[in-house]
Chains A and B, each alone.
Chain A
Amino acid sequence: MWFGSDSAGRCGLALLALVLVSLAPAPPVLAHAAFLELRPVEGIAVQGRYDDGTVMAGAQMAVFAPNDPARPWLTGVTDDEGWFRFVPDPAIEGRWTVQARQAGHGAMAYVEVGGEGEAMAAVMLMAGGDEAFSPLQRGVMTASVVWGLIGTALFFQRRRAA
């Protein structure tokens, strides 16, 4: 399950899991053994949408780490539901920035990543904004951030081939 909060009420995100496939040298007695290790990790999910509810499918995303804030640490594209998920490097503490852009609209979101063993917290969501109740708001993008803390070693699985 995904532990998080979503100000827009969009819960039930799929668990973000990092799947590590290891093909490490097999012990002599188990030639060609393969190991599949699945380890849930902390992750960030961001959804871009316009404030008429339309999701930003296919928006260009850029993630900036706090130790190099002018250069993208990661780039990608939102999925059909407007979501973009990534796992920040927990060794890089501080304020991470996520930028979304599509068709002349853009927004920034900021997420604090704490020290080792600490939870991540979405400090705020920030988006293009216009006057309250303006008709133009329909065309303005909003973004929301949820964070997940899976904890340490909640799940570990290893399969050994015969």
Chain B
Amino acid sequence: MVRRGSVAALALVWGLGAAAPAWAEGRLAFFASGEDLATEGFVGAQLTRDGWALTFDHIFVTVTALTAHQAEPPYDAMAGGEIQATTSVVLAGEHSFDLVEADADDRVLIGEVEAPVGHFNALSWRMTPATAGPAAGYAMVFVGTAERDGVVVPFVLRNAEARTYRCGEFVGDERKGFVVAGGMADLELTFHLDHVFGRADKAADDPTNLDALGFDAFAAGGEHEITLRGMHIGHAGEGHCDVVWE
């Protein structure tokens, strides 16, 4: 599901990084992705669980307390709880971004920070209502168009629930988060939109489809406030995260 372009290959210099002075630093970039379901929409075989095609003009997300951790021991998202870390770096402030305005790898750069050498093997962030901008008052906003059987409806779905995601290591085509002196590493907040709308190409009794909203409830179009409580949208690549709802 995660298809990513290449990131700096750090393996060859890992040994050098491990031996670098304690003050040695590199940089760590934070990306967000809604994958192809955000940039291309629910199209083709990937319709919503109830057969709607969705395309998005915007998917606004707002986060704070975006933190990368060198967790020790590695964080077990299944067990949940606090992340125990020897080192953490924070991308300070409130960050709103649009998952539709992504690069060729479906990623949006949120920001980057200086980070000490080591493996950042855990990630946490808080989704919170934006204090300004087009999504003010909401943590997540979907703006788009739905189509089924010739019926076309524009929609705006707004979600105001604050919650915190705590994730272990990124799981995907490559391992991420290895900071070496003078180098650049990255981590990714991954939003699995099929947990919201379901997928027609999965079985009706697939757990994702059983719990997803689908789109029938919004078939009249227009603006709606939705709850996403209990849905697990936030991931680190394919790795699931512990979620704490407020």
Contact = CB atoms under 8 A, between A and B. Distances in A.
A binds B: yes
Interface of A: 52, 64, 67-71, 97, 99, 101, 103-108, 110, 123-132, 134-142
B238 A134 contact: no
Contacts of B10: 70
A139 B208 contact: yes
A70 B11 CA distance: 5
A136 B207 contact: yes
B168 interface: yes
Interface in B230-246: 230-232, 235, 237-243
A106 B211 contact: no
B175 interface: yes
B158 interface: no
Contact of A132 (B76, B80, B206): B80
25 contacts: A69-B11, A69-B14, A69-B175, A70-B10, A70-B14, A97-B175, A101-B171, A106-B237, A110-B73, A110-B74, A124-B73, A126-B76, A129-B240, A129-B242, A130-B77, A130-B232, A130-B242, A131-B243, A132-B80, A134-B230, A135-B207, A136-B207, A137-B207, A139-B206, A141-B240
A126 B168 contact: yes
A128 B11 contact: no
Contact of A99 (B1, B79, B171, B242): B171
A140 B240 contact: yes
A134 B206 CA distance: 14
Closest 7 CB pairs of A and B: A129-B78, A128-B240, A106-B171, A106-B238, A104-B1, A129-B77, A139-B207
A64 B77 contact: no
Nearest to B75: A126
B90 to A, nearest CB: 23
B22 interface: no
Nearest to B10: A70
Nearest to B176: A70
Interface of B: 1-2, 9-11, 14-15, 73-80, 119, 168-169, 171-172, 174-175, 178, 192, 195, 206-208, 210-211, 230-232, 235, 237-243
A129 B174 contact: no
B233 to A, nearest CB: 10
Nearest to B212: A136
A135 B232 CA distance: 10
B76 A125 contact: yes
Contacts of B175: 64, 69-70, 97, 99
A107 B167 CA distance: 11
A130 B211 CA distance: 13
Nearest to A67: B15
B78 A126 contact: yes
A71 B178 CA distance: 12
A1 B212 CA distance: 46
Contacts of A125: 76
Given A105-B238, A134-B230, A126 B178 contact: no
Contacts of A69: 11, 14, 119, 175, 178
Given A124-B76, A130-B241, A136-B211, 7 more contacts: A64-B175, A71-B11, A104-B238, A108-B74, A126-B77, A127-B78, A135-B210
B14 A107 contact: no
Contacts of B241: 129-130
A77 B175 CA distance: 18
A118 B211 CA distance: 47
Contacts of A104: 1-2, 192, 238
